[in-house]
Amino acid sequence: MALTQVSSNKCAGGFQKVFEHDSTELKCKMKFAIYLPPKAETDKCPVLYWLSGLTCTEQNFITKAGSQLAAAEHGIIIVAPDTSPRGCNIEGEDESWDFGTGAGFYVNATQDPWKTNYRMYSYVTEELPKLINANFSTDPDRMSISGHSMGGHGALICALKNPGKYKAVSAFAPICNPVQCPWGQKAFTGYLGADRSAWEAYDATVLAASYSGPQLDILIDQGRDDQFLSASQLLPDNLIAVCSEKKIPVVFRLQPGYDHSYFFIYSFINDHIKHHAKYLNA
């Protein structure tokens, strides 16, 4: 599948690039960012997939998170896709900031008019890794996943739904129990329909309750002053309780004074990359 390079910038000894391609899964052009550490010039490197949150594109993470220095140090490629299909000419796709464009929620939609294009789950777990492995110096057996907010939800479900596929998972302020929060209920109703049992396939708290795969060490950072935590959108306590019961290892850090922004992510991204490096470079 042909890739078109959109941009390339030398960064931390490697290159921060953006590419565009025609997605077979999403039936539209998609962009993704990829950081190639210096090590990628001579060796196959593991890949960390980063899933961004509501309203974001591939740009937010690469310009605000400050991940490149740590990725260069640990020899990790970081791939950051867009958060949804764009320009699909679906009626209503641009009406809300938390549904439609910029808000794919990393599910495979089953409802009209979304089901043709809004297949971000399959894009992130299948199409994109195949594309990356075919075009870059990667080790296909070493990949992990992380994300923020809606993308934290995405990272958790991808890891929990695919035991053994990802070596590690982490999240910043993830939407942990979307079937129980307003954001999730709105998105899941639109993309998956009114049957709430269909929603459970994309809920980290529900998935953790039935997880039976290899050990998956989870790292979650949550800002104590996050406005969406107090608004009951994120519900980390629900996930932590289930993981504790199921003996799924979780390091949950409630960070005083931090909010939901990229200032928060920037402050702790090095810890997350170290967490992934421990498993990716083992």
Q: Are 198 and 189 in contact (CB under 8 A)?
A: no
Catalytic machinery residues: 149, 226, 260
Give phi and psi for 53, each to the nearest 5: -100, -175
Q: Are 148 and 198 in contact (CB under 8 A)?
A: no
Q: Largest Cα–Cα distance of the chain, in whole Å?
A: 51
Strands (E), the chain: 4-11, 14-23, 28-36, 45-51, 77-81, 138-148, 169-172, 218-223, 250-255
Q: Are 125 and 158 in contact (CB under 8 A)?
A: yes
Q: Are 146 and 169 in contact (CB under 8 A)?
A: yes
